Amino acid sequence: MTVTSAPTIQRNGLLARLHGRAGRGWLVVPTIAFLLAVLILPLILIGFYSVNLMTNLIGVPTEFSLRYWEDFLPPGSNPFWDRFQTSMVITLLVSVAAVIAAYPIAYYLSFVARRRRYTLLLLILAPFFTSYLLRVIAWKVILANNGVINSALWQLGLRDHGDGVTWLIYSWFSVALVLFYTWVPFVALPIYVVLENMDTRLLEAAQDLGAGRLKTFLRVTLPLSLPGVIAAFVFVLIPTTGEFIAPLLVGGPQSYMFGNTIQGFFSDSPNWNYGAVLAVWLIAIVLVLVLLFGRFLSTDLRESKAPA
């Protein structure tokens, strides 16, 4: 019996230690409580508003009703739905354009830039950490009717003074350009990470076997980098889906996005019930995107320990 005592003590020590680490789990409680109050409870209230269990309209009885939903669904019969569709098309175009534009940057950083790569990566990412609002305002200065581009055209005599290019601002072009500008540096990051971790011996092997550089890229590099490409795509898609700031500043009522419609129902013409329906719809779209593409995003947090 005494023979087993030493290992038992050791195991008890280990158990105690394990218990200590398990005990830390309770430290999530404040964060969870905070997020339940500040995030989940408001989402539930939005849900209540969307089915008329609550309302901000005076004299309207609160009872469960899907009438606000019926005004939004079925598709194709109302202005909100049109706005939603146009908005999603812009979002998709911007996301695809940003990924295509950022890919060569990521490629350059991982395969050509060599030692300067971290400095150059920081150079690309730094504007992303400056105020979003101010970057949009800077574009407004560039694109405005008498802004930098138009007045430069006048100075160069390419257009008559006062005759600006009309689609430069308050148009879908300006909204898309600003969204593209905002997200394109951030998009380079996940692609860069994938390329950086790629086994370059595979590329050498492809070339030893007779593939040219183009073929190597198309058959080896590109397919292997797809997870990063998809992650990058989702990185733009999700935040731009609910966008409303860029359209407010460089767009016009004709180029407002879905987010602006929601904003309108909570500010200019308050009807929180309609606003809540559109907000629930927006969350649903975003959650579907996350469920579809979530596995391409980081799974780092699911493990308790980093792999050795």
Partner 1 sequence: MTAAASRLGGRLLGGYFLLFAIFLYAPLVVLVIFSFDDSQIQTLPYAGFTLRWFRAVFSNGDLIASVQRSAVIALFTALGATLLGLITAVAMTAHKLALRGIVVALVLLPLVIPYIVLAVGLLILLNTLGLRQTLWAVLLGHIAVSVPYCLLIILPRLRTIDQAIVDAARDLGAGAWVAFRRITLPLIVPALLSSAIIAFTISFDEFAIASFLVPAGKETLPVYIYSGSRTPALQPQVIAIGAMVVVASLLVVTAAEFFRARAERRLRV
According to CB under 8 A, which residues from 71 to 90 bind partner 1?
A: none
Q: Fill in the per-residue mask, 146 to 175: x = in contact with partner 1 (CB under 8 A), - = not in contact.
A: xxx--xx-xx--------------------
* Given 40, 96, 100, 292, the residue binding partner 1 (CB under 8 A): 40
In the complex, the smallest distance separating the C-beta of residue 77 from partner 1, rounded to whole angstroms, is 24
* Given 73, 92, 142, 224, the residue binding partner 1 (CB under 8 A): 142
Q: Give the total of residues touching partner 1 (CB under 8 A).
A: 109
- Distance CA(202)–CA(75), nearest Å, equals 48
In the complex, the smallest distance separating the C-beta of residue 1 from partner 1, rounded to whole angstroms, is 26
52 burial level (CB within 10 Å; 0-12, 13-18, 19+): buried
CA distances from residue 85 to 82, 129, 237 in whole angstroms, order as listed: 5, 30, 14
* Given 72, 80, 84, 139, the residue binding partner 1 (CB under 8 A): 139
Query: Smaller CB distance to partner 1: residue 1 or 301?
Result: 301
> Does 276 help bind partner 1 (rule: CB under 8 A)?
yes
Q: Are 101 and 124 in contact (CB under 8 A)?
A: no
Residue keyed to tokens 């905002």: 182
CA distances from residue 246 to 48, 142, 181 in whole angstroms, order as listed: 29, 14, 11
CA distances from residue 213 to 195, 200, 221 in whole angstroms, order as listed: 16, 13, 10
Q: Is 59 helix (H, G, I), strand (E, B) or coil?
A: coil
> Does 22 help bind partner 1 (rule: CB under 8 A)?
yes
Write out the E strands in 1-58: none
In the complex, the smallest distance separating the C-beta of residue 194 from partner 1, rounded to whole angstroms, is 14
Residue keyed to tokens 């419609």: 261
According to CB under 8 A, which residues from 44 to 73 bind partner 1?
A: 45-46, 49, 54, 56
According to CB under 8 A, which residues from 100 to 129 bind partner 1?
A: 101, 104-105, 107-113, 118, 120, 122-127, 129
DSSP 74: S
Question: Would you call the peptide bond into 223 cis, given omega within 30 degrees of 0 as the criterion?
Answer: no
- Distance CA(294)–CA(184), nearest Å, equals 20
Query: Smaller CB distance to partner 1: residue 37 or 77?
Result: 37
Residue keyed to tokens 């889906």: 241
Angle subtended at Cα 32 by Cα 29 and Cα 35, rounded to the nearest 5 degrees: 150
> Does 247 help bind partner 1 (rule: CB under 8 A)?
no
> Does 30 help bind partner 1 (rule: CB under 8 A)?
yes
> Does 292 help bind partner 1 (rule: CB under 8 A)?
no
In the complex, the smallest distance separating the C-beta of residue 140 from partner 1, rounded to whole angstroms, is 7
> Does 9 help bind partner 1 (rule: CB under 8 A)?
no
According to CB under 8 A, which residues from 181 to 240 bind partner 1?
A: 181, 184-185, 200, 203-204, 206-207, 213, 216-217, 221, 238-239
